[in-house]
Amino acid sequence: MLGFRNALLAGVVALAGLAHAQSVTDELSNGEVRKVDKENARITLKHGPLNNLDMPGMTMVFKVGDDAMLDAVQAGDKVRFRAEMVDGKIVVTKMEAVR
Ligand SMILES: [Cu+2]
């Protein structure tokens, strides 16, 4: 019985470690800017798979966490970016143009 408990505990610890590792990675995804909407602080990106959001590649509109991000890019730019779920909305929290 002790063996089973220990095995169970080891499993729980392993899972917790995995969740922690995922939350601390700051992996960037590839995207291409389709449209910049400064008035509404939104950007349309054609993006590759977003592993942290379990989302396949597609073209969609994102809110940006900081309006200043939109000054650094324009339609046609290739970008590396990070999108995260914030208060139930998907928000671009980090973005850099790839030159
Ligand atoms: Cu998407």
- Judge residue 60's burial from the number of C-beta atoms within 10 Å of its C-beta, 0-12 exposed, 13-18 middle, 19 or more buried: middle
Nearest to 94 by CA among 54, 60, 66, 74: 66
- 54 Cα: distance to centroid of ligand 1 (angstroms): 9
- 8 Cα: distance to centroid of ligand 1 (angstroms): 36
Confidence (pLDDT) at 13 = 59
- 45 Cα: distance to centroid of ligand 1 (angstroms): 8
pLDDT > 70: percent of the chain: 75
- Per domain, the residue ranges of the chain are 29-98
Q: What is the mean pLDDT of residues 37-47?
A: 97
pLDDT band at 26 (very low <50, low <70, confident <90, very high): confident
- 82 Cα: distance to centroid of ligand 1 (angstroms): 12
* Higher-pLDDT residue of 17, 41: 41
Q: What is the mean pLDDT of residues 38-46?
A: 97
- 14 Cα: distance to centroid of ligand 1 (angstroms): 30
- 73 Cα: distance to centroid of ligand 1 (angstroms): 19
The CATH H-level superfamily of 29-98 is Copper binding periplasmic protein CusF (2.40.50.320)
Q: How much is the pTM?
A: 0.74
Q: Which stretches of 14-69 are assigned E, i.e. beta strand?
A: 29-37, 42-47, 58-64
Torsions phi, psi for 76 (to 5 deg): 100, -20
pLDDT band at 2 (very low <50, low <70, confident <90, very high): low
> Is 24 a residue whose pLDDT tops 50?
no
Confidence (pLDDT) at 99 = 82
